Amino acid sequence: MSRRLFPSAVLLLLLVALICCGSCGADATEEGNLPASHEMEVFVSRKTAVTLRKTSGGAGNTSKVIDSFSVPALVGVGDLLVAFAEAQHTGYTDTDIDIAAAYGVPWRDPWATQLAVETPKADDYASLALSPTAVAKDGKIYLLLNTERVAKNGRELAEAGDTWDIQLAVGTVAAAVGQAGEGEQVAWQEPASLKSAFAAVKQQQQWTQLLGAGGAGIVVGGDTLVLPVLARDAAGNFLSTTIRSTDGQSWAVAGGTTAAGCTYPAVVEWEEGKVLMNTACEDGVRRVYESGDMGATWTEALGTLSRVWGNSPKRTGDGTQGGFAAATIDGKKVMLAAHPVGSAAGGRPGPDRLHLWLTDGSRVHDVGQICDANAKTVASVLLFARDRLFLLHEGYRGRRHVLFLTELAQQLRQIKSVLSTWKEVDKSVATSCGSVPRGGAGPGTACVAPMPTKGLVGFLSGKLTEGRWKDEYLGVDATVAGTVETTANGLKFSGRGAWAEWPVGKQGQVQRYHFANYNFTLVATVTIHAVPAGGSGPRPLLGVSLGGGTAALSVACDERRSWVLAQRGGARQTSTGTWETGKAYQVALVVQEGRGSVYVDAALQATSQETWKAADSEAVSHFFIGGDGGGAESAGATVGDVLLYNRPLSTEELRLHFLRPEPAAPPAPPSAAAESPGSTTEAAAGTNSAANAPSEAPPKAKPGDKNADGCGSAGRVLPPLFLLGLWAFAAL
């Protein structure tokens, strides 16, 4: 078929129309709402009929309506998706539970169902198959499960001792997939017990049980199957670890474990040979562990992703199963996580809202709400396969418990836009060079090396909108109060009570800057406009505060034109160097292993006398900039190009900062409402919900929107860079 050439203006309008309309064939939504992503009900309690195994159904085509489904697992084999769930036959507590499977090609009807694992039935006991944990490799599906026998009607079991077992079922996918309903596409072997194979390890580790954890496994290095499991110690505590196999027959248990009380493990392969495990812990947070030796040791990833997500708004409770997947998107290796965020209505706790999170191992971006479930916990699993992103999660449709499958196509487009922004901002920071570097060095030293972007998670420059100082990396915004004036690359703080608050613990349930409790570097360009009045004490320029507003460390200036490092308890370190009014300085506060240091233009000025460490009960609350929020007269300074790293920068790296001019902020998109440089704003202290919102993020789906009780999608706006690209294309 021939290709027609359109005039540029018509082509532009057509492209914009295609983007705005979303998915072709999507149902119309209420005015102002966007069409939902593809969604289907895979398992519906008291509605979905599952085909029984030939051993129980005779001809192999007898089906039975299942009372309840729970605990999702999901794998992909070619174009075929296979979803798993616990299938409880009746609503009684002593009923049989099997493992159900549903499979088909996404958005192609009909999908087939079957019992992947059917437990033996008896009159005096109930047989339970629990916690499906699945991984696929070379056309085979490896399904780990736990089995148990429970006495019925108060009877005692005939056998004595431990009635638990850990088993593995292997399913072979038919060569011709995609024709669901035309015979069994997945042929299942009877599950085999692994209990005896793990007996020696259990005895050595003094574990009483080793159980499948539920969810998804991974293939590491292209050949090693890795599945998350739970170990139970003699005290009854659960710990998370993994098992592995290269052939699917012989399995080895990793020797290392997480801390006690960390369950619901989900694993991804991050760097080559490196496995990350995301767990929900009973102390109220999700701890992320990493291992470079296939689980022989697990180290908590403090300072990056560990303890970022809380299990509840108050960061208490045990948590639930959450989706966790690694993906390569537009050439960038990232991780995706599905974790619920608690809501509140009228001051009371509301239902959890499932959010999708994007991270590159340092930055964490809230892609947005993907479900509006009416349950306090939402178990989920993510699958990224063939450049498509799928979510299988528990939820409700009316009063029925449902497992929904959703393709997160809109969210994937948003992720690509965010990654493009990260790349552009990184480039701006790393390559921003001029002919004359800051500090008066000659032109030959202007571009000695790229400025470091490793560990760079936040960047505040010249964007101020409705009291929000916007993060260029689309992460956490700061809120401003008092009289502030926008400049090209920052803000000028004037008068009493002028300051900016960049939240850490104040972010609430999800604390994307939790690393600040351990190590960080805060770098800013500071210009002081007036000498503080005598007797007024040091004026804070930037620093970090603990809960309750106590300033733990701060960089200040005083009437003697000295730099001051102020510490909790009143201790102060004063520099021998001095500052001049109207001159720009690069000021850095570096915290490493609890000790703070101040650098000005890459030269060390002061180091804290005592080791400072934020205890769990006294965690970091926020960073402050321009003032400390105490209501006193501000320092009267301009602070710009504020860079936040999740690690301590070396002296040499700080020197690279100093040898370069201020990094230029990316140009604001045409639709941005940022205030123009030179404007003055009286800002009220905003709520931290505003500060915690992603910068330039698309509008989120609201409770009550169509399909909100199931799993839809966050709204989206056209990526600014993409729009600019369209205009450029149209101009050709």
Domain that holds residue 527: 420-688
- pLDDT for residue 666: 53
Q: Which of 345, 377, 407 is a domain's end point? A: 407
Residues 167 and 251 in one domain: yes
- pLDDT for residue 213: 98
Domain assignment present for residue 1? The answer is no
What percent of the chain is predicted at pLDDT more than 90?
62
Residues 446 and 377 in one domain: no
Non-local (6+) Cβ contacts of 556 within 8 A are 538, 539, 540, 541, 543, 563, 564, 565, 566, 635
Residues 581 and 507 in one domain: yes
Residues 470 and 499 in one domain: yes
**Which uninterrupted H or E stretch holds 149?**
strand 140-151
The total number of structural domains in the chain stands at 2
**Which uninterrupted H or E stretch holds 556?**
strand 551-557
**Any idea what the CATH number is for the domain that residue 597 is in?**
2.60.120.200
- pLDDT for residue 431: 79
One-letter amino acid identity for 126?
A
Mean pLDDT of the chain, nearest integer: 82
Domain assignment present for residue 394? The answer is yes
Nearest to 397 by CA among 16, 31, 5, 48: 48
Residues 402 and 424 in one domain: no
336 near 325, Cβ under 8 Å? yes
**CA pseudo-torsion sign 95, 96, 99, 104:** negative
Residues 459 and 481 in one domain: yes
**Which pLDDT band holds residue 551 (cuts at 50, 70, 90)?**
confident
Residues 387 and 505 in one domain: no
**Which pLDDT band holds residue 24 (cuts at 50, 70, 90)?**
very low
**CA pseudo-torsion sign 416, 419, 425, 428:** negative
- Residue 57 class from Cβ within 10 Å (0-12 exposed, 13-18 middle, 19+ buried)? middle
Domain assignment present for residue 300? The answer is yes
- pLDDT for residue 232: 97
145 near 193, Cβ under 8 Å? no
User: Is residue 532 scored above 50 in pLDDT?
Assistant: yes
Distance CA 323, CA 340 (A): 10
Backbone angles phi, psi at 426, to 5 degrees: -55, -45
Mean pLDDT confidence for 97-115: 93
Residues 72 and 213 in one domain: yes
- pLDDT for residue 153: 67
Mean pLDDT confidence for 667-683: 49
248 near 137, Cβ under 8 Å? yes
User: Is residue 707 scored above 60 in pLDDT?
Assistant: no
Residues 430 and 323 in one domain: no
Domain assignment present for residue 144? The answer is yes
Domain assignment present for residue 573? The answer is yes
Q: Which residue matches tokens 């999702």?
A: 72
Domain assignment present for residue 717? The answer is no
- pLDDT for residue 643: 97
- Which has the higher per-residue pLDDT, 23 or 355? 355
Residues 253 and 342 in one domain: yes
- Which has the higher per-residue pLDDT, 170 or 15? 170
Phi-psi domain of 489 (left: phi exceeds 0; alpha: psi -120 through 50; beta: other): alpha
pLDDT digits (tens, 9 = 90+) for 172-220: 998 655 444 445 689 999 999 999 999 999 999 999 999 999 999 999 9
Q: Which of 357, 377, 407 is a domain's end point? A: 407
Residues 117 and 85 in one domain: yes
Domain assignment present for residue 264? The answer is yes
695 near 471, Cβ under 8 Å? yes
User: Is residue 613 scored above 60 in pLDDT?
Assistant: yes
User: Is residue 672 scored above 60 in pLDDT?
Assistant: no
Distance CA 361, CA 268 (A): 12
Distance CA 630, CA 497 (A): 7
Domain assignment present for residue 616? The answer is yes
pTM for this prediction? 0.84
Residues 429 and 403 in one domain: no
Q: Which residue matches tokens 């493992």?
A: 99
**Any idea what the CATH number is for the domain that residue 56 is in?**
2.120.10.10
Please report the DSSP string for 466-486 in residue order: TTEEEETTSS--EEEEEEEEE
Q: Which of 407, 435, 462 is a domain's end point? A: 407
